[in-house]
Chains A and B, each alone.
Chain A
């Protein structure tokens, strides 16, 4: 793959020995090294991500399930030998059937899940970013106990997601949860959080916001610290108010970081499996499912339906790809090279 730039002419000299290697030779060495350095990752990704992807795309056009995956049905005869014959219900190519069944709502609730996913993603990312930005702005000032605040505020990041899910499920427990106790304390009737679609979704969103703010905060705080302080000093001398400084120095300075973390945050939240799966469990009656959890349940509860899960996978990936392309184009239009 790198031989295109290889120079066949020079005699093989021990690397690093020749006093001044030619440009071609140096670039060949560079490419060789670069490829060697990325190769393990490329191989693992190719085997474990891209092979499954292409296989998934193919499977989404078949009707493969756990039940019809074997090509031959073998029965053991009395003599100990095995008699095999073709499985009459063997899986086969079915064209766009899976997509039609999913998109028309024959299986699962694609459109409802998509709607919930969009709400979920938008609310979570907006809150992550807003709260993260607010906290980072506060933490970026010199003050007492700043280091302590920072450690405490980043702490939720260190908690494994399933523990956070459990902690919040515990808090939103209908009978002995902290949330209902707090509500009763101020004279509001206890809420059965998981009995209604919106309160159920609310608990998951709260959990996810709690979980996701630290990452945004840390990334934005890092971004703020790369903004030269001379800019702020100059603005203060010019009499700019705190709000003006924030709007005209901090926000533009954070643009590159913000664009990256918003894109990553959107992708991560869109595919955030454990929170919905463990906190709401889709209650009530699957109404709080997002696409990934809904697809998981539709495809894997009962007989595992591999082709259906592949279909959902392709649809989810397509949505995210379309989103990223538009996002990138929007950035390009504003002159951002990304």
Chain B
């Protein structure tokens, strides 16, 4: 077993709150370049790592110094998976808005907002806990049933 990467759980919570605000602004304005930027943010968190993810950097530089340090640590794997789910929705949303299929952009962004808000407000990681359901629904998961 490789030693799991561990993070301060308040960092992802902060990132989810920032994400929520960004996605509300995207929905309100329909300004898709902002959604494209959020898609890149998700991609960094999911595929590069949580440390270089922009909101994590912001958390460490601005927020963490103002908080009590905590011993609490959370494993990074679920968080990166959640970023990947967010990335998928944001990517679809960006494509929708940019290609003029605004309804697709709105729906995909709303789904990402739903998950981000649940994470920020309730600390509930939808993508992580519903992983089995996602897997069951995804067409690739046809493992001999």
A binds B: no
